[in-house]
Structures are given as structure tokens and as C-alpha cells.
Amino acid sequence: MRRLLLMLFIICLVGVDHVGWWVKLAYSYPTQQQTRSAPPTRPGPTIETFVRPEFAARMHRLRATILKAAAQHNHPQLSGMSDYEFAVVMATILYNENFGWAEELVPPLRMVTPVYQSAQQQVNLHGLGTNFSVWPANLRPSVAAEILAGKVPLADGRVLHVPLRVSGSQIDLTAFNDQRALFAALTAEISNDELAINYLAANLERGIWRAVVEGQPISWRTLAAWHNQGIVDPVAIRNNPTARDYVRRAAAYLPLARALFAPADNAVMMRAL
């Protein structure tokens, strides 16, 4: 209990994320993609990238996993993207999610980021029903549940149902009568690097379907804004300060994401698929 209280204190002290307390009955999932508080307005077209050495090593280890997930969840005929381009979007999002605006604004926070990331994970795992975002993909358990259920919330309030399968997931939503236990189980999966990659790819697939149904153009910006704010309309993205800043920040990581899948390494990675 003392350890749990310490984790809660750290999260409150950092104040980067917000807990979602769910009091609805089991299987009563929200129909909105995760949203986040708007960062302070920052001037300039982009940011200076920052990647922790240990996360850079994880990303290199996950290259083949990202490419495989991209091939499974991209629909080139719908997205207009090759599987490689889809993988680049995934990598861009992963880099961006692991260096938030608060860390840019207050550099000393970079030292405690791994601590509060771990704390949010551990609090969720304690079965309290908390809905903290979990890294490496910065997904909430509630969103992971939507992904497994194949639900795609639309702008008009309707919910589209699409066939989705998250490779490697062992969770059967119908087997849970307790939402707290479900969120703890989902947290365990989205905390696992390989599974988190598959959940991220499936989430971006939902973004493709949302854009197609609503007749919106699809680009890396579309999918980044979908992952961040659950919107795909270019006008809505421009008018949403959080999504607009997220896309601006993500642009800085595109070169790094492309370099991750450099042609010299592709032959080795493709043999691993």
C-alpha cells in the first residue's frame, strides 16, 4: 500500500496525465477516442527532437515488429499508403509519445518521465479501475477495449463496427464481468512492447476506417491526430489546439522514423517477418 500511495503521489506531482475514473457497468465502453489536455501554445514549425538512448535501442529492436504490424493493419487501397509508409507513421507516433510537451517546456522533467510512466502502469495494474495512459504507445485501457471490440466512434456519435484482431492478445472481452479486472489485464498487454505495437497498428487501422467513412483525406497527419484526439477531419485538426500541436511536434520525428527503416536494414528485417 505504501508503494501504491507513493506512485499516486508521483503522478499527482508530475501532473502530466489525468486519471479516468470509470463507474459504468462492465462492457459499457466509451465511444470516444482518448483526448488529452491542450499544451501551451508554442511558436515555430517544429521542435528539437529528443529520444532517450534506452528508447532508441527499444525502437531498433522493434523494427521488424512494427513492419509486420503495419502489413497486417494497413489497407493500401484505402489509406493510399504503402506498408512502409504506414510503419513510418507508427514509428513517428511512438517517438513523439515518448517526449511530451511538458518535458520540452520543463527539461528537468525528463529525468522523472520513466518514473511516472511506470507509476501509471503500476496503478492501473493494481485493479483500481484507473484509466491512465500506458506507454510505449500512450494508450488508455478504455481505448484498448474499443480496439479489441472493433468499435470506431464517428463524428456524428454513431459507432462503426469493423473486424479487428490484435495479434498476440489473449483477452476475451466477454470473459470479464469486472471492469477493474479488465482494465488491469489490458494494461498488462499495452505495457508489453510487442503487443503495444500491435494495438497501435490496430488503432491506426480504426483511423483509416473513420476517415474513409467520413470522406476525409488520409495522411500521416490524419492518423497522428486520430491517435491523439480521435479526429480525422483536417479542419477539426487545425481548430483543435492539442491535435494541431501534436501534429507539429510529430513532424520533427518523421526523418528519424524514416531512418529507422533504412534500406540497408530492410532485407534483414523482412527475413524476420
pLDDT tens-digit map of 54-63: 999 999 999 9
Q: Does some domain include residue 222?
A: yes
How confident is the model at residue 204, as a pLDDT? 98
Say if residues 94 and 198 touch (Cβ distance below 8 Å).
Answer: no
Does residue 155 carry a pLDDT above 90? yes
Q: Does some domain include residue 117?
A: yes
Distance between CA 237 and CA 239 in Å, rounded?
5
Instruction: State phi, psi for 152 to the nearest 5 degrees.
Output: -125, 105
Q: Does some domain include residue 172?
A: yes
Per residue, the 3-state secondary structure of 133-163, as one string, reads CECCCCECHHHHHHHHHCEEECCCCCEEECC
Distance between CA 207 and CA 227 in Å, rounded?
8
List Cα–Cα distances, 111 to 58, 117, 165, in angstroms: 18, 11, 36
How many folded domains does the chain comprise?
A: 1
Higher pLDDT, 260 or 122: 260
pTM comes to 0.82
Lowest mean pLDDT across 17-26, 190-199, 205-214, 259-268: 17-26
Domain with 243 in it: 2-9+62-272
- pLDDT tens-digit series, residues 8-56: 444 444 444 433 333 333 333 444 455 555 555 555 556 778 898 999 9
Residue 30 grid coordinates? 466509451
Q: Does some domain include residue 50?
A: no
Q: Does some domain include residue 98?
A: yes
159-189 burial: b if 16+ Cβ within 10 Å, else e: eeeeebebbebebeeeebeebbebbbbbbbb
Q: Does some domain include residue 76?
A: yes
Does residue 259 carry a pLDDT above 70? yes
Q: Does some domain include residue 31?
A: no
Say whether 273 sits in a helix, a strand or coil.
coil
Q: Does some domain include residue 30?
A: no
